[in-house]
Amino acid sequence: MVEHSARAIVPKSFAVWLVVLLVSLGCVQAQTPTPPVPAFDGASALEHVRKLVAIGPRVAGTPGATKARDYITAQMKALGLTVDEQAFEAATPAGPTKMVNLRVAIPGGDGRSQAPSTGSGQGRLIIAGHYDTKRFREFTFVGANDGGSSTAFLIELARVLKVRTNALPIEILFLDGEEAVVEWQGTDHTYGSRHYVDAARKAGTLGHIRALVLVDMIGDRDLRISRESNSTPWLTDIIWTTAKRLKRPEFLERETPIEDDHLRFLEAGVPAVDIIDLDYPAWHTADDTLDKVSAESLQVVGDVLLAALPDIEKRLVKP
Ligand SMILES: [Zn+2]
């Protein structure tokens, strides 16, 4: 009797245990189909700035620029992303100069990658920055913040966006030739963005560019980003409202007009915003070195942009 009862109880409790196990396994499975999106890592971004500065000057059309492209390409490859080179010859006051924009396509939520040169009806969001540094003959200019911070930021952002569920395809665009070859006047500046927009216009694909977010000089330790007054108001508003929500005092309410790569897109009718801190004493001097840039500043811009992205996507994706 005791023995019989014992035998009857053991299989019953085993069955209960099995059901509990299967149910809990099911729960675990149901909760883990998508890995969590990693946060933007300002320290990693600063490491990329360090590597870029170690290359030295990265002036358009020089071996330094080629080395910068090699570094970016290696980083993208390590993430499993493909770099599409958009090479062109720019007519500059110093003569024809070979320049190259780098385009990296990150798929939208449906998982289908959009080829950079084509484009779906849904279009794409471009997040861009320049990787060239300004040429100075009198001193060595390594552009830690001006050229370095935007490049490093985009490399780190690509790592996050690669695993994020993006509402529409995102193109990470590393622009060449933002800096003037001689002096910022006429067309002696923004060569990469001008070529990019012209190429899209000629290909009839301008309409596929839904919006542009430009970052430039976002690594200054003393980060103070004013609203850029040429930028598209709704894009600026989303980013500054997000910064306010995240309690980031680095995004100031004051407004300043700044000429940058985003103007070429705005002229073509593409909504665009420039996130730039031109309030930088080391700007275009030999002092634009690694010690002026901080992981914290890169982190702030990364956090704000990633938090603003869902609202930007909502505006761009038609239901
Ligand atoms: Zn500059």
Q: Sorting pLDDT into bands at 50, 70 and 90, what band is 34?
A: low
- pLDDT recorded at residue 109: 74
The per-residue pLDDT for 13 is: 53
Question: What's residue 38's pLDDT?
Answer: 81
pLDDT value at 115 more than 50: no
Q: Contact 196/185 with Cβ under 8 angstroms?
A: no
Query: What is the C-alpha to C-alpha distance for residues 152 and 50, in angstroms, rounded to an integer?
Result: 9
Q: Is the pLDDT of residue 12 over 80?
A: no
Distance from the CA of 146 to the center of ligand 1, in angstroms?
5
User: Do 131 and 281 contact (CB within 8 A), yes or no?
Assistant: no
Query: What is the pLDDT, as a whole number, of residue 33?
Result: 56
Residue 1 C-beta-side C-alpha neighbours within 13 Å: 0
Q: Give residue 180's pLDDT band: very low, low, confident or very high (50, 70, 90).
A: very high
Q: Residue 2 — pLDDT band, cuts 50, 70, 90?
A: very low
User: Beta strands 209-216 and 272-276: pairing type?
Assistant: parallel
Question: Is 70 exceeded by the pLDDT of residue 29?
Answer: no
Q: Which residues contact 280 (CB under 8 A, 6 or more apart)?
A: 145, 146, 217, 220, 288, 292
Please give the distance, rounded to the nearest whole angstrom, from the Cα atom of residue 275 to the centre of ligand 1: 14
Q: What is the mean pLDDT of the segment spanning 139-167?
A: 97
Average pLDDT over all residues of the chain: 89
pLDDT tens-digit series, residues 54-79 = 999 999 999 999 999 999 999 999 99
How far is ligand 1, taken at its centre, from the CA of residue 210, in Å? 26
58 close to 131: Cβ distance less than 8 angstroms: yes
Tokens of 28: 């675990």
Contact 125, 313 (CB under 8 A): yes
Taking a C-beta distance cutoff of 8 angstroms, is the pair 298, 223 a contact? no
Contact call for residues 199 and 86 (beta carbons, < 8 A): yes
- What are the φ/ψ torsions at residue 176 (nearest 5 degrees)? -95, 165
The model's confidence at residue 31, banded by pLDDT at 50, 70 and 90, is low
| pLDDT tens string 241-271 | 999 999 999 999 999 999 999 999 999 999 9
Please give the distance, rounded to the nearest whole angstrom, from the Cα atom of residue 258 to the centre of ligand 1: 12
CA of 274 to the centre of ligand 1 (A): 14
How far is it, in rounded angstroms, from Cα 228 to Cα 230?
6
Distance CA 46, CA 156 (A): 9
CA of 299 to the centre of ligand 1 (A): 21
Q: Are 282 and 289 in contact (CB under 8 A)?
A: yes
CA proximity to 124, closest of 141, 140, 112:
112
First to last CA, the chain: 69
The answer to pTM > 0.85 is yes
pLDDT given at position 313:
96
* β-pair type (225-228, 251-256): parallel
Give me the pLDDT at residue 318, please: 73
Question: How many angstroms is it from 91 CA to the middle of ligand 1?
Answer: 19
**Percent helix, strand and coil across the chain, each to the nearest 5:** 45, 20, 35
Count of H-run helices and E-run strands, the chain: 8, 8
Residue 226 CA neighbour count, 13 Å, CB half: 11
